[in-house]
Amino acid sequence: MKLPLYPASEANNFGGLDFQNYAKAKVAIFPVPYDSTTYYKPGTKEGPRAIIDASRHMEVYDIESGQSIKDTDVFTLEELEPSKNSPKETLLRIEKVIAQILADKKIPFMLGGEHSITAGAIWAFVKAQKDFSVLQIDAHSDLRDVFEGTKFHHASVMRRVREKVASVVQVGIRSMCQEEAEYIEKKKIKNIFFAPKLPVEEILFSLKKNVYLTFDIDALDPSIMPATGTPEPGGLGWYETLEFLDAVAKTKNIIGADLVELSPIPGLIFPDFLAAKLAYKITNHII
């Protein structure tokens, strides 16, 4: 008995590629639909699926680079099932998956999901990669120690990252609480670049050769990215962002990445498509 053959729509993976081959892929797309600690507008658990769905309808030819992603470039993994026991347990699940991806000599690219998931990825990288920087592009500093009773809140993610990684560079920040400001002063943290200035050369100088990129979608201005739980005015523009990412990719080695905090708005598809295009640009830079 044979399956019926007929013209089918785009495959349900990042880019809608006809075939996937994990053994040959350079980048492993890892969807993490998680929003356990969001405290204003939930919905980031719908982000990975919205990004992947939108990506199926974009052109895989990139004008700037003059190339297309191929079936052997990326492989889309199944969505992670988050733990309902605790935020930390979810992060430990993420750490285990990222560790396996790295052991398989792939570059992981997580699609979130809330920003807390970054900590799980960093735990895996710290064990596998000795010398690297974390580049955070974000509206918020995310440096609270504890929030809503947990150290693994998405408002605490960069505090947890800084506990593990010496070189952390934060870009586009335009919101923080007094506790975070006092922590920055106490620790004499220098590598925080506040909006609206984007001193590209200084940022690049602050980064090591190997870079893990964590991109919170609320770094973008709400005029182009309203679909996020805690939007902040005065964010980055589209071409400004692409130029900065291009500068990073030309001078640094992106060893892993995540794109987080897309919270889709029913009936408004342009933010989903923008996020998919941004994920595609980052993927191209990794490749």
Mean pLDDT of 161-190: 94
CATH of region 19-286, choose from 3.40.190.170, 3.90.1150.10, 3.40.50.10190, 3.40.800.10: 3.40.800.10
Q: What is the pLDDT of residues 76-108, one digit of tens each?
A: 999 999 998 988 999 999 999 999 999 999 999
What tokens appear for 208 in the block? Answer: 């090591």
* Confidence bin at 147 (pLDDT 50/70/90): confident
Task: Locate 158 and state its tokens.
Answer: 């960069």
| Confidence band, pLDDT 50/70/90 cuts, at residue 177 | very high
Q: How many Cβ atoms from other residues are within 10 Å of residue 154's Cβ?
A: 33
The pLDDT assigned to 141 comes to 94
The domain limits of the chain are 19-286
Bridging pattern class, strands 133-137 and 67-68: unpaired
Q: Rounded to whole angstroms, how far apart are CA atoms 286 and 81? A: 26
Residue with the larger pLDDT of the pair 134 and 287: 134
